[in-house]
């Protein structure tokens, strides 16, 4: 088997997950380089990796460069993607900087694998909440068409990076010491999120923009249109930050073009790649973020029809946002590249 020189750029939550997934999936690596702003050693699952300070010359000889990216910020790929490309690498970027560029394919391997052929050096990884939604909806789209999507996402702290997870843990510790007498934290502390997260939820992920929707909500719309090659689907989103560490939940409502029953949807899901159905209401059996953490699948449950709209369906979708929502999807793209 041919082996490849791989670079991982960034050692935050997603970068470390990329290192974990590369090892778990036995990606054929000849040489691995890990880059960040400063050199140091890190340990992931008991394995020590030497991190080098990123520089243009560091990409010499690299075949595939995986950029971990940071949502809401200009990622390292803005500065270094072209440096990697001119030295012969193909860039797979988890950040948001290139996703809507018409020359950059936006890929979910279960949906649009052929789009990678269009790359000109960069392939973009979609947003975490978009990935799990389209994985669940694509099999239905192929069978019955989808006219409308309404989604409310309940997104974990880790989707905003390590700083948001630290904020949640610090808030929980503070409230524990105060015996929960005052659930609102009044003292000042370093915050990665715009609101207190412990014992709270708030409907803002990203910045507010057009029509008072957030940037995260518009990502759901525009990325779905691009991945599914259908900009006629009417999509409306509300994104909510919730006080859990990892795992995004989504309440998704769809209106299909053709009528399809919940039982037919379950049957389609059972045969679809990357999806696992957990749907037994009588036993209170449905997906939960805590059960999805560390797993690769997109989990679907609570599949039910709208009692008032002929072609309306509800479902509940959960996935590990650091794995299928980021690291795993990026490495699945890399696997497609070497297969082709």
Q: What is the pLDDT of residues 224-234, one digit of tens each?
A: 999 999 999 99
Average pLDDT over every residue of 122-129: 97
Q: Name the CATH architecture for the domain at 4-126+326-339.
A: 3-Layer(aba) Sandwich (3.40)
Name the residue among 63, 128, 58, 64 with its Cα closest to residue 94. 128
Separation of alpha carbons 191 and 88, rounded Å: 40
* Strand 64-67 relative to strand 90-93, pairing: parallel
Question: Apex CA 93: angle with CA 338 and CA 220, to 5°?
Answer: 115
Half-sphere exposure in the Cβ direction for 84 (13 Å, CA)? 29
Is the CATH number of domain 130-321 3.30.360.10?
yes
For residue 107, with 0-12 CB atoms within 10 Å meaning exposed, 13-18 middle and 19 or more buried, which class applies? buried
User: What mean pLDDT value characterizes the chain?
Assistant: 95
* pLDDT at res. 231: 97
Is pLDDT at 113 greater than 80 in this prediction? Answer: yes
Position 176 confidence tier, pLDDT thresholds 50, 70, 90: confident
Report which DSSP code applies to 313: E
Tell me if 4-126+326-339 shares its fold with 130-321.
Answer: no
Instruction: Tell me the average pLDDT across 127-145.
Output: 98
CA nearest to 11, candidates 56, 61, 54: 54
| Verdict on whether the full-model pTM lies above 0.85 | yes
pLDDT tens-digit series, residues 187-205: 666 789 999 999 999 999 9
Asked if the model's pLDDT at residue 314 lies above 70, the reply is: yes
Active site positions, annotated: 128, 248
Q: What is the pLDDT of residues 220-269, one digit of tens each?
A: 999 999 999 999 999 999 999 999 999 999 999 999 999 999 999 999 99
The domain spans of the chain are: 4-126+326-339, 130-321
């Amino acid at each position: 088997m041919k082996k490849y020189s791989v670079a991982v750029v960034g050692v935050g939550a997603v970068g470390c997950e990329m290192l974990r997934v590369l090892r778990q999936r036995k990606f054929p690596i000849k040489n691995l380089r890990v880059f960040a702003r400063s050199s140091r050693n890190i340990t992931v699952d008991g394995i020590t990796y030497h991190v080098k300070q990123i520089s243009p010359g560091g990409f010499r000889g690299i075949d595939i460069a995986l950029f971990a990216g940071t949502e809401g910020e200009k990622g390292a790929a803005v500065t270094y993607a072209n440096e990697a490309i001119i030295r012969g690498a193909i860039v797979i970027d988890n950040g948001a900087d290139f996703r809507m560029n018409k020359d950059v394919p936006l890929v979910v391997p279960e949906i649009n694998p052929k789009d990678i052929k269009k790359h000109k050096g960069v392939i973009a990884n979609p947003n975490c909440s978009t990935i799990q939604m389209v994985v669940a909806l694509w099999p239905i789209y192929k069978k019955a068409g989808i006219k409308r999507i309404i989604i409310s996402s309940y997104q974990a702290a880790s989707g905003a990076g390590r700083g948001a997870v630290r904020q949640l843990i610090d808030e929980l510790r503070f409230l524990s010491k105060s015996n929960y007498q005052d659930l609102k934290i009044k003292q000042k502390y370093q915050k990665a999120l715009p609101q207190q997260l412990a014992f709270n939820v708030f409907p803002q992920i990203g910045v507010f923009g057009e029509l008072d929707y957030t940037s995260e909500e518009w990502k759901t719309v525009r990325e779905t249109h691009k991945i599914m090659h259908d900009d006629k689907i009417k999509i409306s989103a509300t994104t909510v930050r919730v006080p859990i560490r990892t795992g995004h939940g989504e309440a998704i409502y769809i209106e299909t073009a053709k009528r399809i029953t919940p039982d037919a949807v379950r049957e389609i899901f059972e045969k679809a790649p990357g999806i696992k159905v957990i749907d037994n209401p009588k036993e209170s059996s449905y997906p939960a973020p805590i059960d999805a953490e560390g797993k690769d699948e997109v989990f679907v449950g609570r599949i039910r029809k709208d009692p008032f709209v002929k072609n309306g369906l509800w479902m509940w979708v959960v996935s590990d946002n650091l794995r299928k929502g980021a690291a795993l999807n990026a490495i699945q793209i890399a696997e497609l590249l070497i297969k082709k």
